[in-house]
Structure 1
């Protein structure tokens, strides 16, 4: 199976240290996230990086350049990745949004800050107090059931519909092509 991953970073292998994912609802540390098509991966390859350098236009009284910090826009890369048919927990429904099914199952492991309501969920926009612990417990629960990842069918990401894959281990991921986003947009 071929899937796509967008990133502002350039790397050769998927590792927890090299892959930084910017996903909403605090789900980014469950595993490695992929989309079913290249176009829905593109927004993840657009971002910024902090640059610290000597100014060419601002100087101290003694004539030395001031050190400035700014955010520089970055166009990253789309990774075309082969995965050898992993056993996936599939979230799919004809009556409910598949993403809601996924988040509802994950919520069983979450502790949210919410003083006014008893059973606070991700939909309430409450602060998740145990992101790392919740994601680890959710992942371990699925692994214990024999799953190597999960699939959210027809998820709405960046106003585009895609199948969203999360793979728990980098061992089964083979990068087949790295496409600079600038080349893809030509």
Structure 2
């Protein structure tokens, strides 16, 4: 199966250390995230990187240049990735949003903080207090059931509707092609 991953970084292999993801709803540390459509991966390949350098225009009293920090726009890469025969937990529904089914299952492990009393969920846009712990427990639960990842069918993204894949370990992933985003525009 072919899936796509967008990243502002270039790398040779998928590892949890090489891949930095910033996804909505604090799901980024569950595993490595992919989409079924190249266009759906593109927003994750466009971002900013923090640059720290000596200033050419600002100086201290002793004449030494100040060190400044700023965010620079970055156009990254779309990774075309192949995997075969992974056991994925599938979230699909014809009557409900599949992403909501996935998030409700993960919410069992989440502690949220918000202004509304009662048990909060991901839909309340509250602050998740235990992201790493919640994602780790959720992933371990699925792995104990024999799953190597998950698939969320027909998920609404910025660029339309796509399937979202989360693979727990990068060993089964093979990079087929790396496409610079700037060549797609």
Q: Compute the TM-score of the two structures, normalised by the length of structure 2.
A: 0.95
Correspondence list, 1:26-175, <5 A = 26-114=26-114, 116-175=116-175
Distance 1:68 1:32, change over 3 A: same
* Residues in 2 aligned to 1:74 and 1:14: alpha-carbon distance in whole angstroms: 20
Contact 2:4 2:41 in 1 (8 A): yes
**DSSP 3-state at the match of 1:175:** strand
Moved more, 52-61 or 116-125: 52-61
- Give the drift of 1:67: 1.9
Aligned-pair CA distance for 1:159: 4.5
Single out whichever of 161-170 and 58-67 deviates more from structure 2: 58-67
Which SS does the other structure have where 1:71 is aligned? strand
Q: Compute the displacement of 1:115 (Å).
A: 5.7
Count of residues paired in the alignment: 185
Higher mean alpha-carbon deviation, 71-80 vs 108-117, is at 108-117
Distance 1:159 1:77 in 2: 17
Q: What is the SS of the residue equivalent to 2:95?
A: coil
Q: Distance in 1 between matches of 2:136 and 2:60?
A: 49
Q: Secondary structure at the match of 1:10?
A: coil
Q: Distance in 2 between matches of 1:109 and 1:61?
A: 53
Q: Note the C-alpha offset of 1:160.
A: 1.7
1:4-48 Cα shifts (integer Å, max 9, x gaps): 000001100111111000101010000000000100000000111
Q: Are 1:18 and 2:18 an aligned pair?
A: yes
Task: Name structure 1 gaps, 5 residues minimum.
Answer: none
